[in-house]
Chain A
Amino acid sequence: QVQLQESGPGLVKPSETLSLTCTISGDSVTSSGVYWGWVRQPPGKGLEWIGYIFYTGSTSYNPSLKGRVSISSDTSKNSFSLHLTSVTAADSAVYYCTRSTLSMARGLIGDYFDFWGQGSLVTVSS
């Protein structure tokens, strides 16, 4: 069974960088056909996709984050990390690390989030 565990500071000051790490057990960050990524949820609001890193090392990010985000992986620690720069109070949220699996149905390619971490609450405040 795949398990994901987020770790990192729960409090970040405005204008600083938010950094979180997700440690994987039961799978590998180099598994083929798998995306490792992040989703966040501001208090009382819906889910927002942040981005992913593919097993090939390619990445994709939500354009709403305007170039402030990067995701990297560490094969030696079987983990991947999120970095979000120049944070403001609007970045306060529960951050979930996720695994999504590439799939094909009706001739259409897609992927779905089949495993989620428990979530890590990050508050941006001075």
Chain B
Amino acid sequence: SYVLTQPPSVSVAPGQTATITCEGDDIGRKTVHWYQQEAGQAPVLVIYNDDKRPSGIPERVSGSNSGNTATLTINRVEAGDEADYYCQVWDSSRDHRVFGGGTKLTVL
């Protein structure tokens, strides 16, 4: 089955840039979606189709995808960005959906 690998944790100071990676075999040939999950809450879609933002998601949140790595970037990080972030793809060969293991973003 298709595997997505994320770093367990990322730490960043307020105002700095957070970069969260999602690695998968030839992931650039899939569309990648990202979800933010605050403590005790349901996940929320923050990036879809690699780099598209749903309405209400600020422009400082962006995504990219190429080769074997997709990346979620959060510029000018705020305390409110502290959450778990998950990447997700569709494994079309099996018609399954796959999540990465999640990355805990800590704002120092």
Which A residues are within 8 Å of any B CB, using their own CB?
37, 39, 46-49, 52, 60, 62-63, 96, 100, 103, 105-106, 108-114, 116-119
Residues of B within 8 A of A (CB): 1, 29-31, 33, 35, 37, 42-45, 48-50, 52, 54, 84, 86, 88-90, 92, 94-102
Query: Given A110-B49, A111-B90, A114-B54, A48–B31 Cβ distance below 8 Å?
Result: no
Given contacts A63-B1, A108-B30, contact A119 B42 (CB under 8 A): yes
B49–A105 CB distance below 8 A: yes
Chain A residue at smallest Cβ distance from B47 = A112
The reply to whether B101 and A46 contact each other, CB–CB distance below 8 Å, is: yes
Tell me whether chain A's interface is mostly helix, strand or loop, or mixed: strand
Measured between alpha carbons, how far is A48 from B86 in the docked complex, in Å?
11
- 20 residue pairs of the A-B complex, CB under 8 angstroms, read A46-B99, A47-B35, A47-B86, A47-B99, A47-B102, A49-B97, A60-B95, A63-B1, A100-B97, A103-B49, A106-B49, A110-B90, A111-B90, A112-B33, A112-B88, A113-B43, A113-B88, A114-B45, A117-B42, A118-B42
